[in-house]
Structure 1
Amino acid sequence: MISEPSLSCEHLLKAAVARIQGDSPRLDAELLLHHVTGLSRTSFRAWPEREVTAEQAAQFADLLAERVNGKPIAYLLGQQEFWSLPLNVSPSTLIPRPDTECLVEAALSLGLPEHSAVLDLGTGTGAIALALASEKQDWQIMASDRIIDAVELARANSAALNLPITVLQSHWFAQLPDVRFDLLVSNPPYIPASDRHLSEGGVRFEPSSALVAGDDGLDDIRLLISEGLNWLNDGGWMLLEHGYDQSEAVRHLFTKAGWHKVETRKDYGGNDRMTLAQKPIRD
Structure 2
Amino acid sequence: MTPMTMVKHTQTPELPEVADPSQVPPKDARELSRLFFRQLAVLEEGTPRYSYARNTLIEMNMSLVRFAAGRFRSRGPEEMDDIVQVGMIGLIKAIDRFELSREVEFTTFAIPYVVGEIKRFFRDTSWAVHVPRRLQEARVHLARAKEELSSRLGRNPTVMELSELMSLSEDEVREAQLASNGYTSASLDAALGTGEDGGGEGALQDFIGLEDAALELVEDFHTLAPLVADLDERDRQIIHMRFVEELTQAQMGERLGISQMHVSRLLSRCLARLREGMLATH
Q: Give the TM-score category using the shorter length.
A: under 0.3
Which of the pair has the greater relative contact order for Cα pairs under 8 Å at 6+ separation? Answer: 1
TM-score, with structure 1 as normaliser: 0.22
Larger Rg: 2
Q: If each structure's helix is expressed as a fraction of its own residues, which one has the higher value?
A: 2
Q: If each structure's strand is expressed as a fraction of its own residues, which one has the higher value?
A: 1
TM-score, with structure 2 as normaliser: 0.22
